[in-house]
Amino acid sequence: MFNSIKESPIYPIVNPQSIAFFGASNNFASMGSNLLSSVRSLGFEGAIYPVHPKEKQVQGYKAYQNVLDLPETPDLAIIVLHTDIVCRAVEECGQKGIKHAIIISAGFKEVGGRGANQEKELLDVAEKYGLRILGPNCLGVINPHHKLNTTWMPYEAPAGFIGMASQSGSFINQTLGRISKLGLGFSTAFSVGNELNTDIVDCMEYLGACPHTKVIALYIEGINRGRAFLEAARAIVPHKPIVALYVGGSEAGRRAGLSHTGAMAGPDNLYDGIFRQSGVIRARSITELFDFCWALGTLPECKGRRVMIQTHSGGPGATAADACGRAGLEVPALSPQTLEKLSELLPHTASANNPVDVTFSRNPLFYYSEIPKALLENKDADILLMYCYTPTESVIRSLESLGASREEAAKQAVIRIDAQSQAIAGLLERRDKPIIGFTYSSSDDRFIQGLVERGVPVFSGPEQAARVMEALVGYSSRRHGIMAGASEN
215-220 β-sheet, strand order: 148-149, 140-143, 186-191, 162-166, 215-220, 242-246, 281-283
How many residues sit close enough to a second copy to count as binding (CB under 8 A)?
83
In the complex, the smallest distance separating the C-beta of residue 439 from a second copy, rounded to whole angstroms, is: 8
CA–CA separation, 25 and 33 (whole Å): 6
In the complex, the smallest distance separating the C-beta of residue 310 from a second copy, rounded to whole angstroms, is: 12
Among 3, 82, 252, 487, binds a second copy (CB under 8 A): 252
Which residues face 21 on adjacent strands? 50, 78
Binding string, residues 89-128; x marks residues near a second copy by CB under 8 A: -----------------xx---x-----------------
CA–CA separation, 20 and 75 (whole Å): 8
In the complex, the smallest distance separating the C-beta of residue 475 from a second copy, rounded to whole angstroms, is: 22
The separation between CA 5 and the C-alpha centre of its own chain, rounded to angstroms, equals: 20
Could you tell me whether strands 307-311 and 351-352 are parallel, antiparallel, or unpaired per DSSP bridges?
A: unpaired
Strand, helix or coil for residue 246 = strand
In the complex, the smallest distance separating the C-beta of residue 224 from a second copy, rounded to whole angstroms, is: 17
Among 253, 266, 300, 304, binds a second copy (CB under 8 A): 253
Which residues face 102 on adjacent strands? 78, 134
Looking at the Cβ atoms of 231 and 440, the one nearer to a second copy is 440
In the complex, the smallest distance separating the C-beta of residue 32 from a second copy, rounded to whole angstroms, is: 12
- 43 burial (CB, 10 Å; 0-12 / 13-18 / 19+) is exposed
Phi, psi (deg, nearest 5) at residue 333: -65, 155
The separation between CA 391 and the C-alpha centre of its own chain, rounded to angstroms, equals: 29
In the complex, the smallest distance separating the C-beta of residue 330 from a second copy, rounded to whole angstroms, is: 8
251 binds a second copy per the rule CB under 8 A: yes
Among 56, 114, 284, 362, binds a second copy (CB under 8 A): 284
Q: Which of residues 363-392 bind a second copy (CB under 8 A)?
A: 389, 391
Binding string, residues 388-427; x marks residues near a second copy by CB under 8 A: -x-x-xx--xx-xxx-------------------------
Q: Where are the alpha helices (DSSP H) in 327-391?
A: 336-343, 370-377
In the complex, the smallest distance separating the C-beta of residue 250 from a second copy, rounded to whole angstroms, is: 3
Phi, psi (deg, nearest 5) at residue 254: -65, -45
CA–CA separation, 450 and 417 (whole Å): 8
Among 23, 136, 257, 450, binds a second copy (CB under 8 A): 257
Q: Which of residues 136-195 bind a second copy (CB under 8 A)?
A: 153-154, 156, 166-171, 174-175, 177-178, 180-181
Q: Which of residues 26-45 bind a second copy (CB under 8 A)?
A: 28-29, 33-34, 37
315 binds a second copy per the rule CB under 8 A: yes
